[in-house]
Amino acid sequence: SSSSSSAAPLLGFAAIATNRNDAISVPVGYSATAFVPWGTPLTGTMPAYKPDGSNSGADQEQQVGAHHDGVYFFPMDAKTTHTNSSEGLLVMNHEYLDPNLFHPNGATLGETRPADEVRKEIAGHGVSVIHIRKNGSNWEVVNGSPFNRRITGATPMDIRGPAAGSAKLATKYSPNGTATRGTLNNCGMGATPWNTYLTAEENWAGYFVNKDATQPREHKEYSVGTKNGRYYWELADSGADEYIRFDASTKGATALDDYRNEPNTFGWMVEIDPFDPEGRPQKRTALGRFGHEGVIFAPAVEGQPVVCYSGDDSTNEYIYKFVSTDNYHKATAGGYLLNSGVLYAAKFNADGTGEWLPLDITNSDFTAKAATAGVTFADQADVLINTRLAADIMGATKMDRPEWGAVHPDTGEVYFTLTNNTGRTTTDAANPRPNNTTGHIIRWREIANNPRGFNWDIFLLGGDVGTTTGSGSNAVALTAENHFASPDGLLIDTRGVAWIQTDMSGSQQSDGPFGNNQMLAADPVTKEVKRFFVGPVDAEVTGVTLTPDLKTMFVNIQHPGDRSTPSSFTSHWPEGGTARPRSATVIVTKNDGGIIGT
Ligand code: FEO
Ligand code: CA
Ligand code: CA
Ligand code: CA
For 103-152, the pLDDT digits (tens) are 999 999 999 999 999 999 999 999 999 999 999 999 999 999 999 999 99
- Give the span between the Cα atoms of 55 and 59, in whole angstroms: 6
Q: Please give the number of the atom of ligand 1 that sits closest to the Cα of 401.
A: 2
Rounded distance from Cα 529 to ligand 1 centre (Å) = 23
- Which ligand is nearest the CA of 535, by number? 3
Nearest CA to ligand 1 atom 1: 187
Rounded distance from Cα 293 to ligand 1 centre (Å) = 6
Do strands 282-284 and 156-160 pair parallel, antiparallel, or not at all (unpaired)? parallel
Q: Please give the number of the atom of ligand 1 that sits closest to the Cα of 95.
A: 1
Rounded distance from Cα 503 to ligand 1 centre (Å) = 8
DSSP secondary structure, 557-591, as one string: EE-TTTT-BTTB-S--TTT-TTPPP--EEEEEEET
Residue ranges of E strands in 205-301? 269-272, 282-284, 296-297
Q: Please give the number of the atom of ligand 1 that sits closest to the Cα of 293.
A: 2
- Other Cβ atoms less than 10 A from the Cβ of 16: the count is 20
Q: Please give the number of the atom of ligand 1 that sits closest to the Cα of 419.
A: 2
For 541-567, the pLDDT digits (tens) are 999 999 999 999 999 999 999 999 999
Rounded distance from Cα 75 to ligand 4 centre (Å) = 28
- Which ligand is nearest the CA of 94, by number? 1
Rounded distance from Cα 343 to ligand 2 centre (Å) = 22
Rounded distance from Cα 188 to ligand 4 centre (Å) = 10
Q: List, in sequence order, every residue forming a beta bridge with 445; answer none if it has no partner.
A: 455
**Under 8 Å between Cβ of 46 and 39:** no
Please state whether 549 falls in left (phi above 0), alpha (psi between -120 and 50) or beta.
alpha
Rounded distance from Cα 371 to ligand 4 centre (Å) = 35
DSSP secondary structure, 253-277, as one string: SSGGGS-TTGGGG-SSEEEE-TT-T
Cα radius of gyration rounded to whole Å, the chain: 23
| Protein residues with C-beta less than 5 angstroms from the ion ligand 2 | 187, 488
- The residues of the chain scoring below 50 in pLDDT are 1-4
**Under 8 Å between Cβ of 270 and 190:** no
**Under 8 Å between Cβ of 516 and 536:** yes
Query: Which pLDDT belongs to residue 7?
Result: 67
In angstroms, the Cα distances linking 241 to 209, 237, 244, 519 are 15, 11, 5, 42
Rounded distance from Cα 425 to ligand 2 centre (Å) = 23
- Which ligand is nearest the CA of 206, by number? 1
Q: Please give the number of the atom of ligand 1 that sits closest to the Cα of 185.
A: 1
**Under 8 Å between Cβ of 545 and 72:** yes
Rounded distance from Cα 404 to ligand 2 centre (Å) = 7
In angstroms, the Cα distances linking 358 to 120, 341, 343, 391 are 41, 10, 6, 9
Predicted-complex ipTM score: 0.91
Phi, psi of 233 (to 5 degrees): -60, -30
Q: Please give the number of the atom of ligand 1 that sits closest to the Cα of 291.
A: 2
- Which ligand is nearest the CA of 311, by number? 1
- Which ligand is nearest the CA of 292, by number? 1
Query: Which pLDDT belongs to residue 8?
Result: 82
- Which ligand is nearest the CA of 291, by number? 1
* Amino acid (one-letter) located at 114: P
- Other Cβ atoms less than 10 A from the Cβ of 120: the count is 24
Query: Which pLDDT belongs to residue 451?
Result: 87
In angstroms, the Cα distances linking 336 to 25, 305, 327, 394, 466 are 43, 12, 11, 27, 48
SS3 of residue 106 by DSSP: strand
SS3 of residue 250 by DSSP: coil
Rounded distance from Cα 97 to ligand 2 centre (Å) = 14
Q: Please give the number of the atom of ligand 1 that sits closest to the Cα of 188.
A: 1
Residues near ligand 1 (Cβ within 6 A): 95, 187, 202, 293, 313, 403, 488
The model's pTM is 0.98
- Give the span between the Cα atoms of 133 and 138, in whole angstroms: 8
Q: Please give the number of the atom of ligand 1 that sits closest to the Cα of 403.
A: 2
